[in-house]
Chain A
Amino acid sequence: MPSIADILAAHKEKEGPLLPILHDVQKAFGHVSEDAMREIASALNLTRAEVYGVVSFYHDFRKEAEARPVLKLCRAEACKARGVEALVPIADNQSRVKVEAIYCLGLCAVGPSAMVGDQVYARLDNTKFKTLLEAM
């Protein structure tokens, strides 16, 4: 696993490197910790408040790691039109998988759709959605 210092070094030559750095830290550690923010701020000559402000602004960055597997379920208009809201009770009736709302995966004619990691799933119905959750 790379260290924060490795990640900082990898982005040394970039203009405006903060988001690429945070993405790599999030990917490597599952979250961006207080310590990581301190180290990043010091390396980029930013205040901790500035780094914290960026981390808290974007939905992709977590300040604490999520222990459970995460499924992102599209709840935007096109998936609503195709019945995603009927799947929500299935998500609510279990706690093993963290089901988060996401707004659009660009699969808008074949929804309801979901993403796990970089894998995408479409045409979900009750059965498919349950199977997907159970397989995680």
Chain B
Amino acid sequence: MNEYTYEEIETGHKESFTVTVTEEMMEKFRDITGDINPLHNDGEYARSLGHRGRVAYGMLTASLLSTLAGVYLPGRRSLIHEVDVKFAKPVYIGDTLTVEGAVDDKNDTYSLLIVKAVICNQDGEKVCRAKMQIGVSG
């Protein structure tokens, strides 16, 4: 886990990590949230809508933004204030996602980072974009 202080992070600082979406992650997410929508749980139904299989929960993909802030940027001192997220393309089980965040701006008054994050699949397609406001505690 990174332990950056506010002062150590400059605008433009980037961090990234990679995760593969698994069946187990889907099951755990369904159990936690109670979202039993067939798009995420019934392969036949998902294929009838033109997908190649069950679609990963968008919020499961977005949950990786929590890891981006809490483990990487800034890491231990993170407190997420705000996340504005857009889901650009579907994610499927087995996709390998690269989550990258870059510090777009800083606010010294509140020790805030404005982070632009993109999540890409193994083909380099952007599946998710987000703008995050993250506080950095002292």
A binds B: no
